[in-house]
């Protein structure tokens, strides 16, 4: 509880310093909106050329797209401290965190709440609103609740990847781009239904990194669609939970990393 | 007095990845990295009483910051015991770090874009300092360090001297019993250096805060610390007061003489000439084998002397000879 | 040695040191290429009858991945840092033309990683993932020449991005948006032939078709000799345009800096 209060205290400081550069904040948010929105232009071009992607229409794909982009934007904003953690290790700021008598994770999260990510978030929101209105799915409370659950679950999953990336920087700073590949590649992948990919790829994004659980399965439940892969519909109602489980697991690895850091230095 | 810090035989070895040269080497390095062992601390032991003010010196890479990291609980030694104020630093991080303060001269712990006072308030919340004590501490510190006029300036606009004074305050708001300072005067101008030194010695006297300073600026040590610990290659080379350090490692004295005329022939007494500038010549001699008055008398018999000074060699020379000898 | 050649060589040498980054870059590009190939494969499954066949589309994707590092992604980080710290005056004190200095630096910054990464991607994608190598050697050569033109275009755009930092200080606006526009209108996200028919003329006229789309057409041998020359002319026209705009903007910026003292 006290840690939560500290978190909000730190975050309000971070927001205040971002608002010191208001013009820059507006610029970068708008830039982020356009930059990430370009992906949807690509999706739109493809659907307008080919009509359908297997049995998926553009509004249906818009639900997949919206969940993943909103979730990722939330994670980018909130877990910014872990995303840029390698710099903290290099500059010695992580030592400073250890020198303060508070929870380390809270301090790293409190480092920065990156507001400009609202660009990607609102872009995803716009897309999902458009798709949802076309498909008329917003009139059911359970559907809305599941949508929210899926968005939060995907935020948790990407946060887990950021934590993993941060943990890796205790050992190496050169190969962080590998995790980046999975993170950004995951966003790209999940903008389309998982059933279009080949088997090993699907397996990787279902069982190793449970990307399917936070968008493919719940999207089926929301849309009332039959899964060609044969997973039952009810699974989509609970599967976003695996996003949180993944985050929890990544924090366990993180703790191991911190212990190792304390015994080997950097 | 109570024992503040007790270090007993700590050892620490780092493994440093070796960079291989060439493209092939780089590829090989990806799969099979070779490591070099680097012994940073080699059975280091010392103890420090509460309320002492210690200078901790050694050349770059001697193990100073490794020691400080171990003492502040953010690094574990491979071997050895260490107690700070009765507990092992790395065993209970949160209760340990709330009793110490750390200042890095090169980095600030303040929030770059915030006015100074807001950084202080944030630290109050982080360290859970009761409001009353916070206000009292802040009053005292800001008076001693003359901060009140800069409370509302964002940290990024402060001069280095102002920033250092704020960082000192920030590290002391939670009234730590031990303060670690890493190069607190680096880059400061002369008046700021004096202000920092004056503050530290007052802090030590009035509150009895144990202070440990690592520095390359030996003036800091000379003006502040009765006791110095010198380490090199992870070993303790010397533990004692500065005077003893000088006596035991660098016995020679310096005799600086201004002569009336520029004479080239001064080799009469087999004195070593350290330097020579016009009519001024600096000799070195060993006070154990010949006393200064005798020496001066002998020189005065042959030459006309205008002025004489007897000096200790500068402490920098003592230290660098000490490092040099220990590297052999 | 000619100072500009020396700039290119030192920077190439410097960038070639980041081998781990290159390895990571290669695996990233392969991963992305694979995702793209699968996505497009699924789209083609239902309606394969397109102006661009699927196997051509696969070549398009892999060529795009191979030259990914060539894109004008961002301004020169060093120049950005210099502007921020106010040390830009040192750049002005060099006895060479500042514009060409920055241009060649950008050229090297783009060329080195592209060189390093494109060969392995070619090799792996060619062996395993459907990147066909043209049977006619002249097509490959033509592609190489047009890609070199694309590199020059990229350098001229990068130089403008760096120069824009002088006007906006942090360079948040132009430097982020311009690359995004270049990215989608080059065909990196969706091959240009798959865009709506009514857009085609516009897309072709934009400078960004010179990065990937035009060289691709040469690569698969869909280009006559006359068309080849017109592609090079299109590239040259845009390079000249960006070079002159860049020089003009830089002159103005320098005048402002020398008057106001940075």
CA distance C64 to C51: 19
CB contact under 8 A, B74 and A10: no
How many Cα atoms occupy the beta-carbon half-sphere of C183 within 13 Å?
20
Q: What pLDDT does residue B274 have? A: 79
pLDDT in tens, A85-131: 988 988 889 999 999 999 999 999 999 999 999 999 999 999 999 99
Which residues, 6 or more positions from C38, have their beta carbon under 8 angstroms from its beta carbon? A196, A197, A198, A201
Tokens for C51, please give them: 């102006």
Separation of alpha carbons B74 and B89, rounded Å: 8
Q: Which of A80, A160, A194, A68 is nearest to A123 (CA)?
A: A68
- DSSP-derived letter for residue A227 is P
Q: What mean pLDDT value characterizes chain B? A: 85
Domain count, chain A: 1
In DSSP notation, C9-49 reads HHHHHHHTT-HHHHHHHHHHHHHHHHHHHHHHHHHHHH---
Separation in Å, CA of B37 to nearest CA in chain C: 24
Q: Average pLDDT in the A12-26 region?
A: 86
| Residue at A264 is within a domain | no
Q: In what order do the strands lie in the sheet with B3-17?
A: B35-49, B3-17, B79-84
Chain B residues whose beta carbon lies within 8 Å of the beta carbon of residue C19: 23, 26-27
pLDDT score recorded for residue A124? 96
Do B142 and B168 touch, CB atoms closer than 8 A? no
- Return the SS3 of C127: helix
For chain C, the first-to-last Cα distance in angstroms comes to 32
Say which residue the tokens 């024992």 belong to. B3
The predicted complex's ipTM stands at 0.90
Query: How many angstroms separate the CA atoms of C46 and A196, rounded?
Result: 12
Contact at CB, B23 and C20, closer than 8 angstroms: no
Q: Which chains touch B (3 or more CB pairs under 8 A)?
A: A, C
- How far CA B108 is from CA of A93, B116, B161, B234, in Å, comes to 9, 12, 12, 27
> Which pLDDT does position C262 carry in this prediction?
43
The answer to the question of residue A196 being in a domain is yes
Q: What is the pLDDT of residue A43?
A: 95
Q: With beta carbons under 8 A apart, name residues in chain B contacting C26.
A: none
B14, pLDDT greater than 90: no
Task: Supply φ then ψ for residue C53, to 5 degrees.
Answer: -75, 165
CB contacts < 8 A, A to C, total 90
- C27 chain-B contacts, CB cut-off 8 A: none
What pLDDT is recorded for position A94? 92
Quote the domain boundaries for residue A234: 2-259
Q: Tokens standing for A140?
A: 């059911």
Q: Tens digit of pLDDT for each residue in B270-304?
A: 677 777 777 888 888 887 778 888 888 888 887 78
Q: Strand, helix or coil at B181?
A: strand
Question: Residue B152 class from Cβ within 10 Å (0-12 exposed, 13-18 middle, 19+ buried)?
Answer: exposed
Strand order in the sheet with B280-285: B272-277, B280-285, B253-259, B305-311
Which residues of chain C carry a pLDDT beneath 70? 48, 169-173, 258-262
What per-residue confidence (pLDDT) applies to C258?
67
Q: Is the CB of C177 less than 8 angstroms away from the CB of A34?
A: yes
Give the Cα separation of A19 and A115 in Å (integer): 9
Q: What is the pLDDT of residue C219?
A: 94
- What tokens were used for A178? 């590998």
Task: Determine the Cα–Cα distance for residues C187 and A46; give it in Å rounded to an integer.
Answer: 12
List, in sequence order, every residue forming a beta bridge with B53; answer none if it has no partner: B211
Question: Are A196 and C47 a contacting pair at CB < 8 A?
Answer: no
Q: Is residue A187 part of a domain?
A: yes
Residue of A nearest to C176 (CA): A31
Q: Pick from B327, B51, B58, B44: which is nearest to B218 by CA?
A: B58
Which is higher by pLDDT, C173 or A153?
A153
pLDDT given for residue A110 in this prediction: 94
Q: Which two tokens stand for residue A260?
A: 């190792």
Q: Which tokens belong to B207?
A: 């509150």
- Cα A43 to chain centroid, rounded: 19
Interface check A95 vs B, CB under 8 A: yes
User: CA–CA separation, B7 vs B81, rounded Å?
Assistant: 6
Structure tokens at A263: 């015994």
In this prediction, residue B187 has a pLDDT band, given cuts at 50, 70 and 90, of confident
Query: In the prediction, which pLDDT does B295 show?
Result: 81
Mean pLDDT, rounded, for A178-199: 91
| Integer angstrom CA distances of residue B291 from A105, B227, B267, B285, B298 | 66, 28, 18, 9, 11
Whether A24 sits inside 8 A of C170 (CB atoms) is: yes
Beta-strand ranges (E) seen in C66-194 are none
CA nearest to C18 within chain A: A174
| Highest mean predicted confidence (pLDDT) among A48-52, A147-151, B151-155, C115-119 | A147-151
A22 lies in some domain:
yes
Burial class (CB in 10 A: 0-12, 13-18, 19+), B172: buried
Residue A265 lies in a domain: no
CB B257 within 8 A of CB B225: no
User: Coil, strand, or helix at residue B285?
Assistant: strand
Residues of C in contact with A177 (CB under 8 A): 21, 24-25, 28
- Dihedral pair phi/psi, residue A13, rounded to 5°: -65, -45
Mean pLDDT of chain C: 87
């Amino acid at each position: 509880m006290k840690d939560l209060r500290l978190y909000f205290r730190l975050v309000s400081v971070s927001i205040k310093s971002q608002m010191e550069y208001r013009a820059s904040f507006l610029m970068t948010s708008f830039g982020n909106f356009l930059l990430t929105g370009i992906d949807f232009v690509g999706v739109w071009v493809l659907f307008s050329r080919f009509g359908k992607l297997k049995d998926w229409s553009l509004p249906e794909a818009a639900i997949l797209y919206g969940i993943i982009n909103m979730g990722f934007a939330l994670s980018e904003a909130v877990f910014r401290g872990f995303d840029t953690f390698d710099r903290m290790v290099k500059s010695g700021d992580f030592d400073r965190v250890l020198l303060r008598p508070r929870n380390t994770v809270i301090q790293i999260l409190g480092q920065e709440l990156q507001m400009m990510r609202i660009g990607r978030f609102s872009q995803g929101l716009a897309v999902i609103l458009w798709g949802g209105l076309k498909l008329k799915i917003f009139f059911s409370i359970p559907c809305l609740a599941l949508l929210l659950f899926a968005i939060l679950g995907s935020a948790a999953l990407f946060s887990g990847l950021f934590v993993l990336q941060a943990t890796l920087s205790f050992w190496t700073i050169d190969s962080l781009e590998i995790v980046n590949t999975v993170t950004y590649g995951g966003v790209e992948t999940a903008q389309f239904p998982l059933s279009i990919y080949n088997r090993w790829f699907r397996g990787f994004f279902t069982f190793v990194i449970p990307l399917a659980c936070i968008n493919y399965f719940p999207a089926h439940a929301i849309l009332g669609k039959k899964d060609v892969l044969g997973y039952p519909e009810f699974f989509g109602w609970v599967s976003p939970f695996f996003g949180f489980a993944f985050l929890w697991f990544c924090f366990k690895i993180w703790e191991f990393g911190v212990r190792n850091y304390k015994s080997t230095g950097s | 007095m109570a024992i503040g810090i007790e270090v007993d035989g700590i050892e620490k070895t780092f493994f440093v990845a070796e960079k291989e040269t060439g493209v092939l080497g780089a590829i090989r390095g990806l799969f099979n990295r070779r490591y070099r062992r680097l012994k940073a601390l080699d059975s280091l032991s010392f103890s420090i009483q509460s309320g002492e003010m210690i200078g901790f010196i050694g050349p770059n890479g001697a193990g100073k910051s490794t020691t400080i990291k171990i003492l502040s609980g953010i690094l574990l030694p491979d071997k050895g015991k260490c107690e700070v104020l009765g507990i092992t630093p790395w065993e209970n991080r949160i209760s340990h770090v709330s009793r110490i303060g750390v200042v890095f001269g090169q980095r600030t712990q303040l929030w770059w874009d915030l006015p100074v006072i807001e950084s202080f308030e944030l630290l109050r919340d982080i360290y859970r300092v009761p409001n009353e004590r916070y206000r009292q501490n802040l009053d005292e510190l800001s008076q001693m360090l003359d901060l009140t006029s800069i409370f509302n300036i964002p940290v990024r606009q402060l001069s280095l001297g102002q920033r250092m004074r704020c960082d000192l305050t920030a590290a002391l708001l939670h009234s730590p019993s031990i303060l670690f300072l890493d190069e607190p005067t680096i880059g400061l101008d002369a008046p700021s250096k004096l202000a920092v030194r004056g503050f530290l010695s007052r802090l030590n006297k009035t509150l009895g805060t144990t202070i440990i300073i690592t520095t390359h600026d030996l003036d800091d040590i000379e003006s502040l610390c009765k006791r110095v610990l010198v380490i090199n290659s992870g070993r303790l080379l010397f533990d004692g007061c500065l005077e003893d350090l000088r006596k035991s490692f660098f016995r020679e004295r310096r005799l600086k003489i201004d002569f009336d005329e520029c004479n080239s022939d001064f080799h009469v007494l087999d004195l070593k000439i350290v330097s020579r500038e016009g009519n001024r010549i600096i000799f070195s001699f060993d006070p154990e084998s010949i006393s200064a008055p005798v020496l001066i008398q002998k020189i005065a018999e042959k030459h006309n002397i205008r002025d004489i000074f007897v000096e200790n060699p500068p402490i920098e020379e003592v230290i660098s000879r000490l490092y040099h000898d220990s590297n052999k | 040695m000619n100072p500009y050649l020396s700039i290119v060589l030192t920077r190439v040498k410097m960038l070639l040191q980041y081998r781990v980054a290159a390895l990571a870059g290669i695996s990233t590009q392969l991963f992305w290429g694979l995702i793209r190939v699968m996505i497009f494969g699924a789209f083609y499954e239902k309606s394969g009858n397109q102006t661009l066949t699927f196997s051509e589309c696969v070549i398009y994707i892999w060529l795009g991945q191979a030259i990914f590092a060539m894109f004008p992604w961002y301004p020169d980080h060093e120049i950005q840092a210099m502007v921020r710290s106010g040390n830009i005056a040192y750049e002005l004190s060099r006895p060479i033309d500042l514009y060409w200095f920055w241009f060649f630096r950008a050229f090297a910054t783009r060329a080195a990683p592209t060189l390093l990464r494109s060969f392995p991607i070619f090799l792996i994608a060619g062996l395993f993932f459907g990147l066909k190598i043209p049977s006619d050697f002249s097509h490959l050569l033509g592609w190489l020449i047009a890609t070199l033109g694309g590199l020059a275009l990229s350098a001229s755009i990068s130089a403008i991005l760096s120069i824009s930092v002088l006007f906006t200080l942090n360079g948040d606006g132009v430097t982020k948006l311009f690359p995004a526009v270049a990215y989608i209108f080059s065909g990196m996200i969706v091959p240009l032939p798959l865009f709506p028919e009514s857009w085609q003329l516009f897309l072709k006229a934009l400078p960004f078709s010179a990065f990937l789309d035009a060289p691709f057409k040469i690569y698969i041998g869909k280009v006559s000799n006359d068309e080849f020359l017109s592609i090079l002319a299109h590239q040259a026209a845009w390079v000249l345009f960006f070079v002159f705009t860049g020089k003009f903007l830089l002159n103005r910026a320098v005048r402002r800096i020398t008057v106001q003292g940075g």
